Structure 1
Amino acid sequence: MPGRSRTSIDRADSSDAFPEVACGTAVLLLAGSSGRVETERAELLARHGARVRAIRWFGGIGQRPAPHEVPIEMFIDQLDLLRLEADRVAIFGTSFGAEAALVTASLHPVDATIAVAPSSVVWAGIADENWSSHWTHRGAPLPAVTFDPTWSPSTEPPEYRSLYESSLARDPEGAAAAAIHAEDIAGVVVLVAGGDDRVWPSDRFAAEIAERRRVHGREATVVTHPAAGHRMVLPSESVAVGGVTMARGGSPSADAALGALAWPQIVHALGLRA
């Protein structure tokens, strides 16, 4: 019996949500380092007309054990399947999932990209004590920013924002090589970031992505709230819990305020029924 493809998704690692009245958009929904399947957000988008598939993209059956050399073809294959069911396809990710969404959209056509707490570069990840890129494409690891080995946390739980900032500063050439080619993303791009993000500087990253697109004659919508942290909360969503222990910044009210600001832009980008 042939082995499972590295790009296939087991049913246990996905959740499908279907609208009562379709708006014509299918969405691939990606969580971040929590590894969760975003079922609540999928159901929210479906209530407003989207056909949604939320997937686990690492740590699942037949998948990479960590965000480390995950094949971008996994996301491309899912988008191609969703395109069979809808007029438009979109990819919607948060944190590491936003990094995946932006990289995927830069390599494969989509109609809309929603990136919450995004990164403007590809980062390194570790598995089996080996460091490499978060992502591969056509079997090769993508250029990635490696971490500052001299950094150590100064808070408990740790705030990692300064780790990402110092890692970028110590190797500007490596950071430039690892930049996500946001100018190659077709369709609508919405970037959502909290000004109090303590995980990584997503507000800075969102601005860099938007500027890169502007220089190349493309637009991006940036939604920010100065007091919000790493996790956005959309209207009617529960506050997320769990995941890797770290300081994320923000507060439930500020994160919900960011979600309220972002929601109209998400509705527009995805063509949802408001």
Structure 2
Amino acid sequence: MPGTAHELSSPWEAVLLEPHTPNGAAVIVLSGSSGRIDRQRTELLAEQGFLTLAIRWFGGPGQPAGICEVPLETFVAAVDLLDSRGARRISILGWSKGAEAALLTAVHEPRVDAVVAVSPTALTWCNLGPGLDGRQRPYRSGWTWQGQPLPFVPLDDTWFEADHGEGPVAVRSSYDLSERTFADRLATAAIPVERMSADLLLIAGGDDEMWGSLRYAEQLAARRRAAGLPVRLVARADAGHRVRFPGETPAPPSPVYLYGGTDEANARLGAAAWEPILSTLALP
């Protein structure tokens, strides 16, 4: 069992798990575009001795209904909470859109000591879903910092207007198309991981059907290396978007989206990444 659980309601819906045997390090767990609190992953990390906090960062009271102009201060407040509890190392583990949030937060908040980015992007994207005003168009940034929207890449809506057949679809090609359509915006929307003081671990599968996370991870790693900064990338060519760590149950198939990979390949990537994750999150 992970230890003591605390249900938190302010300033966001959250779960804080205190381990039976604390190791002095703390982790913020961010899910992807579901917006849910990833209780299972939070419990797994608490079982390893980490003070673990999972938060709902959109879709809750007072928050935008979608990933639309989400203030990065939301995640800084989570850092504040763990800092106030005496954590000696604070990391963020984010998956998919949560990885985008984790990377951007670490760029702006120097108290983040490490980021584990699972199935990441190397770009800041536009909103997915409505903002506080209930509007989805025109496209806006997914994120703000100090009240200002971050530069972003919009989506090319012609992809969504095309006929993709019946059943679940792979939306990776929509991101690839949008990069070509808005090529002039890629440079300003690139996530500047060379400005992060945090350690960085990237985990990605080459068969990701949501977006090209392995290509993005390689771009992020290249930016770090060009700046002479450390980075580690754990990857498998046959894994998809839903990387599964030891002890996690497989996610059910989606009727809407294809995620790529297989349960077996996703689990193999998760197993290969588990020890690097624990060593990245732990106190040096």
TM normalised by structure 1 equals: 0.92
Equivalent position of 1:90 in the other structure: 91
Measure the CA separation in 2 of the matches of 1:136 and 1:9.
Answer: 23
Measure the CA separation in 2 of the matches of 1:177 and 1:244.
Answer: 35
CA offset digits 1:179-234 (Å, max 9, x no partner): 11110111310011111100000000000000011111112111111111101110
Matched, 1:42 2:42: yes
Aligned partners of 2:99 and 2:121 also within 8 Å: yes
Query: In the alignment, residue 44 of structure 2 is paired with which amino acid?
Result: L
Offset, 1:148: 1.5
Matched, 1:13 2:13: yes
Identity percentage of aligned residues: 42
Residue 111 of structure 1, aligned match among 110, 113, 138? 113
Measure the CA separation in 1 of the matches of 2:234 and 2:164.
Answer: 30
CA RMSD of aligned residues (A): 1.8
Residue 209 of structure 2, aligned match among 172, 187, 198? 198
Measure the CA separation in 1 of the matches of 2:254 and 2:147.
Answer: 29
SS of structure 2 residue aligned to 1:18: strand
Measure the CA separation in 1 of the matches of 2:227 and 2:175.
Answer: 26
CA offset digits 1:52-109 (Å, max 9, x no partner): 0001111112111000000000001111221122111001100000000000001111
CA offset digits 1:9-60 (Å, max 9, x no partner): 6487211111111111111110001111011111100110100000111111
Equivalent position of 1:28 in the other structure: 28
Equivalent position of 1:140 in the other structure: 148
Change (3 A) 1:54 1:136: same
Query: In the alignment, residue 84 of structure 1 is paired with which amino acid?
Result: S
Equivalent position of 1:3 in the other structure: none
CA offset digits 1:115-137 (Å, max 9, x no partner): 00001010001412332111011
Equivalent position of 2:100 in the other structure: 99
Query: In the alignment, residue 267 of structure 2 is paired with which amino acid?
Result: A
Query: In the alignment, residue 149 of structure 2 is paired with which amino acid?
Result: P
**Structure 2: 5+ residue stretches without partners:** 1-7
Measure the CA separation in 1 of the matches of 2:136 and 2:263.
Answer: 36
Change (3 A) 1:243 1:51: farther
Measure the CA separation in 2 of the matches of 1:14 and 1:141.
Answer: 25
Matched, 1:120 2:127: no
Equivalent position of 1:252 in the other structure: 263
TM normalised by structure 2 equals: 0.89
Measure the CA separation in 2 of the matches of 1:11 and 1:185.
Answer: 26
Aligned residues: 265
Residue 149 of structure 1, aligned match among 145, 151, 157? 157
Within 5 A, what are the aligned runs for 1:216-255?
216-241=227-252, 245-255=256-266
Query: In the alignment, residue 144 of structure 2 is paired with which amino acid?
Result: T
